[in-house]
Structure 1
C-alpha cells in the first residue's frame, strides 16, 4: 500500500507542474516547432507522464530525448534523458539498470557543478539501494542528498521528501525512534510549505509507525488526520488504508465494536476500487475481530472467504493467515477435528514459506559472495600490476646506477626473499586447507549426529505414541460399552496432545520458530524458560543495547549459547547459570558464567568432540574472540566472547522518488 501511495504521490506532484491531459496535448502539438534542446525537455515530460500507465510509450519518449541530447552533445539534455530512463527501469523492477543510469546522472551533474541535480541524483540512488535492501548504502546517499538540499534555498519540499525516505529506511531496520524523528521533521517542513499531499502521506506513515510502537491512541489521531486529508484532496482510493489502520489501533485497545466499524468502512472502500489484496487483508482482520468478541460462526465464514481470495491471488502470506484463522475458529466452535486439520495445514504452509524464504536468502548470499570475490580478484590483479610497474622502474634505476656485482647481489637477495615468501605462502595455504577440511568434517559429523538424534526422537517418542493411539482406535471399533469408549476417547485425546508436544519439541531442537520469527534474544529467553521449568538449574539471562543482527550471526550466537549451556548441564554439576549479552559501540560481548565444577580448558580446546569444533567453526565465521576461565577441582567457570557488530537488517515500507 505504501509503495502505491508514493508512486501516486509523485505522479500528482508532476501533474501539478504540467500534468493535465490538455497540457500534455499542448506539449505534443508544440514539439514540431521547438528547438531540439527544448524538444528534449518536452519529451522527458511526456516520458514521466506515461511512466505510470504506459511504460512502452514512456521508454519511447525517453530514448528519443536521449538520441537528440547525444546528437546535440548537450550534457544537461543527456542527464535529463538518463534520469527518465532510470525512472522507467526502476518502475519495472530493473534495479541494476536504474542504479547504473542514476550514477551516470550524478557523474554529469557533478561535472556541470549542478548542486540541485546532484541532490536529486543522490536521492534516487539511495532509493534504488533501499529497494535492493542495501540499507547502509541507501542511508549514505540519502544523507548526501539531504546535505545538498539543505545547502540550497527554497528546497523545503525536497528536503522533507528525503527526510521521509530516511525515516522509511530506519523503520525497515526497526529503529522506530529514529524513524519517528525523521517522519516528524518531514511533517514539519511539509506543513510549513503548505504541501497538503506531502503532509497527508506523512501523517499516514506516522500513524502506521505508531502501531508498531504500541502508541495506539496517537496512531488513531494521526490516521484520522490523514483520512481527512485524503477526503479533502479527493483521493478516495487511499481512505480505506487509513480506516484499516484506525481499526487495528482500536482492536489493540480492546474496543472491538468500534474497530469493526472502521474495518467495514475499509472493506467497502477496497471493494469500490477492486483492490483484492487489501480486501483479503481486511477480511482477515474482521475475522479475528469477530472471534475475539465470541461471534465464532461469523469469524469462520470470513476466514473461509479470505482463504478463497488468497488462493485466487496466489498470495501465500494471506493463505497462511487465513488457514490459521480457520483453525482457531473451528476450535472456538468446538470442532476439534476440523480445527486440527487446518492447524496441520497451517504448519505445512509455514514450513513451505520458511523453505522458500530460506532458499531465496541462500541465493542472495551466494550472489553477493560471488560479486565480492570478483571484486577482490580485480583489486588483487590491479595491485599486482602496480607492483610490477614499480619493480620495473626500480630495476631500471639500479641497472643504470650500480655496478654489475651490486646488481647480482640485489638479484640474489630478491630471489631468496621470493623463495621464502613462497614457502610461507605454501605453509599458510596448507594450514587454511587443513582448517577448512576440519571445519567441513565437523559440519558433516554434526549433521549426521543431528540426523541420528532426530531419527531416534521420532522412533522412540513419536513411534510409541502413535502405536498406542492406533491400539486405542482399533479398540474403539470392537468395544461396545459406552464407558470404555469414553475412556478410550479421553486417552486418545491425551495421546494426540503428547504427539503434538513431541513434534513441537523436535521442531524446537531443529530450529526454534522463535529464533526465525523474533530473533536470537527471544529464542534464548525461550531456551532459558524451558530449562528453568525443569527445576534442576536456575538460569539468569540479561541483555542490554543489543542491535539488530543479520540472520547468520543470530543463528550462530544462539547455537553457541545452546552448546555451552548444554555442556554445563551435562558435565558441570551447576546450580546457577548466568548469561549476559551487552552491545557496545563497536562490539557485542557475550558472557556465560556458572557455579559448577572447573575443567581443563586445554583438553576442551584440543579435544575431538563435535561440540567444540562446531563452536570453533561458528566463532571463526563471526570473527569472534573467545576467553575461557576455569580451573580443575575448583567451583565456578566463565566464558567471554566478543565480536565486531555486523550490518543491521530492517523491514520495508513506502518511499518517495525524486525526478
Structure 2
C-alpha cells in the first residue's frame, strides 16, 4: 500500500566524472563507471552481485584517493541495502555519502543525498527526521527552479504526511508531482504517483477515485515491466472493488497481487493481501477458503512480528471458526487476538503511569527550587555568622572566640541536618502521593468496571437467557442466542479479570493472606509450581500496608513469569515483633546483579518505590544459572 519515489528518479548509471589527461586514469575511471552501472542495475534483482561491484569501486577509490567515486560507490551500496530493507546499513552509507559530498562542495549531489536520507528515515518510521531532510532538499530544488526534482521531493513529503494521517496535504503534494511528471512525459514517475493517489483515496473512502488511479498504475507498471510495484496497485484496486460491492473483480485483483508478492517473498504484503482475500471469501460465504487464507496470514504476521496484522487476521479467523462450530480453535485464535489487545492495554496503562511520573518529577523540581531557596537562606546565615565571629574575635580573647566558633559550627551542622531531613521527607511524601494516587485510580477503575460495566453485562446476559428459553431447540435463532450467551459470558469473565487486576476484591474484603492465596491459585500451572507461606497475619494490617505488600508481591511474581523461566516459585510472608519479612525466591535462570542498576526496568523501580513508602529495606540475591531471591523487610511501626 506504500510507495517511495527512490533514487531511480535522480540517479542512475549516467554519472558525471572528472576528465583526466592521463590515459591510465581514464581507463581506471571507465572501469569504475562500468562497475557502478552493474551495481545500480543489479540493486533489486541480484543484491549480492550489486554489493560486490559497489564494494570493488569503494575499495579502489579509497586506496587511490578518489573521493568522488568513493561517494558514488557508497551511494549505490546504500540503495542496495535500502532495497533489502536493511535501513540501519542504508542510513550509515547515506551519512558517509553526505559527509564526502559536503567535502567536495557538490550542492546538487548534497541535495540528492538529503532526499535519500529522508527516504531511509521515512522507512524507519522516524518522520520528524525524514521531514527535516526532505525540506532541505525541497528548498534547494525550489531555489534552483528544478521542477522535476521538486516533484520528486513532493511525493516523498506526501508519503510522510500520509503516515501521519494528514490526507489533505498528501493529495495536494501527489497531484502537484503527478501534473509535473505527466507534463515532462516521465511514465515511471507518473505511475508511482498514480499508485500513491490510489492508496490515499482508499484511506479517505473515495473508492471510485482509488479504483481509477490504481488501475492506471497497474496498466503503467505492466507496460514498464515493474513487477515489484505491480502487486501494490493490484491490491489497492482489489480493495476498492470490494468496498464498491464487486467481490468477483476484487478476488481477481487480490489473487494477482498475491502471486506478485510471493514472487518477491514480501511477507508483510503477502499477509496483508491474504487478510483482504479472507474478507472477500467471508462476504461470499466461503468459510473454508476464508479459514485457509486467514490461517496463512496469521502465521506470516506472527513470524514477522506485525501486531496490527496479527490482530486483524486473528479476529477474522476466530469469527470463522466460531461460525463453523469449531469453538476450540475459535477460542485458541481469540486468545491470540486478546493477547495482542492486552498488550495495547498495557501501553495505555504505561501512559497513565508516565503521567503520574511526570507529575512526580514536576513536584520534585518544585521541591528542589524550594530547597535551593532554603540553601540560599542558609548561606546568608553562614555569612552573617562569620561576620559576627570576626567582630567577636576582634573584641575577645582567643579562647572566647574559639568557643563562639564551635557553637556556630554546631548550629550550622544542625541546620544542614534539618535541611537534609526535610529533603528526604519531601521526596518520600512526593513518592507516597504518586503511589497513593495510582492506587486510588485503580480502586476507582475497578469499582466502575464492577458496578457499571458488570451490571450492564449481567442485565444483557439475563435478557439473552430469556430470549434463549423462548427459541425452539435446534433453530438458527437458538444457535444465535447460544453464541450471544457465550460471548457475553466471555466478556463478563474478561471484565471481572480486569477489575481484579486493578484491585482484588479479596484484598478489600478478606485481607492480604486470602488475596495472596487467590493470586497464587491463578498463576499455578504445570510449568510453574508456586508455594505460599504466611504467618502472624491473623489480624489485618493497615489498609495501605496490605495494598503496598500485595503490589510488591504482584510485581515481583510478574518479573519471575516474564524473565526467569522458572519451574518453582516460593513466597513467604511473616509478621513478627520487629516487623514484616517477605521473600520471593525462584529457581530460574537468574541474572548478574552487577548490571541491575543500569538495566532495571519499571517493575523493579516500582518495587523500590513501594518499599520506600513503608520505610522498608530491599535486598536482591541472584547469579546467572541459580535463580534469584528478593527480600523485603518492613519495620514494626508500619505493621501495627
TM-score band by shorter chain is 0.5 to 0.7
Query: What's the CA shift for 1:324?
Result: 1.4
CA distance in 2, matches of 1:357, 1:90: 33
- Corresponding residue for residue 122 of structure 1: 114
Deviations 1:398-442 (A, max 9, x none): xxxxxxxxxxxxxxxxxxxxxxxxxxxx99999998776555333
The reply to whether residue 212 of structure 1 matches residue 203 of structure 2 is: yes
- Corresponding residue for residue 507 of structure 2: none
Residues 601-616 of structure 1 mapped to structure 2, 5 A cutoff: none
- Corresponding residue for residue 164 of structure 1: 155
**Residues 43 and 433 of structure 1, relative CA distance in 2, 3 Å threshold:** farther
CA distance in 1, matches of 2:43, 2:431: 51
CA distance in 2, matches of 1:290, 1:498: 29
- Corresponding residue for residue 545 of structure 2: none
Matched positions, count: 414
Residues 336-485 of structure 1 mapped to structure 2, 5 A cutoff: 339-351=330-342, 438-449=429-440
Asked whether the 8 Å contact 1:465–1:499 carries over to 2, the reply is no
Select which of 55, 68, 71 maps to 1:76.
68
The reply to whether residue 142 of structure 1 matches residue 166 of structure 2 is: no
CA distance in 1, matches of 2:202, 2:298: 26
Asked whether the 8 Å contact 2:67–2:100 carries over to 1, the reply is yes
Asked whether the 8 Å contact 1:465–1:498 carries over to 2, the reply is no
Secondary structure, aligned partner of 1:254: coil
Asked whether the 8 Å contact 1:37–1:69 carries over to 2, the reply is no
CA RMSD after TM alignment: 5.0
**Residues 71 and 452 of structure 1, relative CA distance in 2, 3 Å threshold:** same
- Corresponding residue for residue 324 of structure 1: 315
Deviations 1:176-225 (A, max 9, x none): 11111111111112112211111111100110111111111111100011
Select which of 285, 291, 300 maps to 2:282.
291
The reply to whether residue 235 of structure 1 matches residue 261 of structure 2 is: no
**Residues 331 and 116 of structure 1, relative CA distance in 2, 3 Å threshold:** same
Query: What's the CA shift for 1:110?
Result: 4.3
**Residues 171 and 279 of structure 1, relative CA distance in 2, 3 Å threshold:** closer
Residues 39-78 of structure 1 mapped to structure 2, 5 A cutoff: 39-52=31-44, 58-78=50-70
Residues 7-46 of structure 1 mapped to structure 2, 5 A cutoff: 10=7, 17=14, 34-46=26-38
Deviations 1:143-179 (A, max 9, x none): 22122223336x4433222111111111111111111
Secondary structure, aligned partner of 1:151: helix
Secondary structure, aligned partner of 2:205: coil
Query: What's the CA shift for 1:264?
Result: 3.5
CA distance in 1, matches of 2:166, 2:500: 31
CA distance in 1, matches of 2:447, 2:104: 71
Asked whether the 8 Å contact 1:156–1:190 carries over to 2, the reply is no
Deviations 1:359-417 (A, max 9, x none): 9xx9xxxxxxxxxxxxxxxxxxxxxxxxxxxxxxxxxxxxxxxxxxxxxxxxxxxxxxx
- Corresponding residue for residue 503 of structure 1: 494
CA distance in 1, matches of 2:113, 2:159: 18
- Corresponding residue for residue 263 of structure 1: 254
The reply to whether residue 173 of structure 1 matches residue 164 of structure 2 is: yes
Query: What's the CA shift for 1:284?
Result: 2.2
CA distance in 1, matches of 2:67, 2:156: 28
**Residues 101 and 308 of structure 1, relative CA distance in 2, 3 Å threshold:** closer
The reply to whether residue 252 of structure 1 matches residue 243 of structure 2 is: yes
- Which runs of 5 or more residues in structure 2 are unaligned? 16-22, 354-416, 458-472, 503-640
CA distance in 2, matches of 1:430, 1:213: 61
- Corresponding residue for residue 195 of structure 1: 186
Deviations 1:289-326 (A, max 9, x none): 23234444543444345445556777654443332112
**Residues 221 and 442 of structure 1, relative CA distance in 2, 3 Å threshold:** same
CA distance in 1, matches of 2:488, 2:183: 61
CA distance in 1, matches of 2:122, 2:332: 41
Asked whether the 8 Å contact 1:462–1:499 carries over to 2, the reply is no
CA distance in 1, matches of 2:87, 2:424: 38
- Corresponding residue for residue 125 of structure 2: 133
Secondary structure, aligned partner of 2:144: coil
Deviates more, 1:317-326 or 1:94-103: 94-103
Asked whether the 8 Å contact 2:445–2:499 carries over to 1, the reply is no
CA distance in 1, matches of 2:492, 2:113: 56
Asked whether the 8 Å contact 2:162–2:170 carries over to 1, the reply is yes
Secondary structure, aligned partner of 1:133: coil
Residues 584-623 of structure 1 mapped to structure 2, 5 A cutoff: none
Query: What's the CA shift for 1:116?
Result: 1.2
**Residues 160 and 430 of structure 1, relative CA distance in 2, 3 Å threshold:** farther
Query: What's the CA shift for 1:245?
Result: 1.1
Query: What's the CA shift for 1:252?
Result: 2.0
Asked whether the 8 Å contact 2:13–2:40 carries over to 1, the reply is no
Secondary structure, aligned partner of 2:245: coil
- Corresponding residue for residue 624 of structure 2: none
Give the TM-score normalised by the residue count of structure 2: 0.52
Larger Rg: 2
Greater RCO, 1 or 2 (C-alpha within 8 Å, sep 6+)? 1
Secondary structure, aligned partner of 1:204: helix
Asked whether the 8 Å contact 2:10–2:112 carries over to 1, the reply is no
Query: What's the CA shift for 1:120?
Result: 0.8
**Residues 152 and 429 of structure 1, relative CA distance in 2, 3 Å threshold:** farther
Deviations 1:431-479 (A, max 9, x none): 998776555333333444556678889999999999xxxxxxxxxxxxx
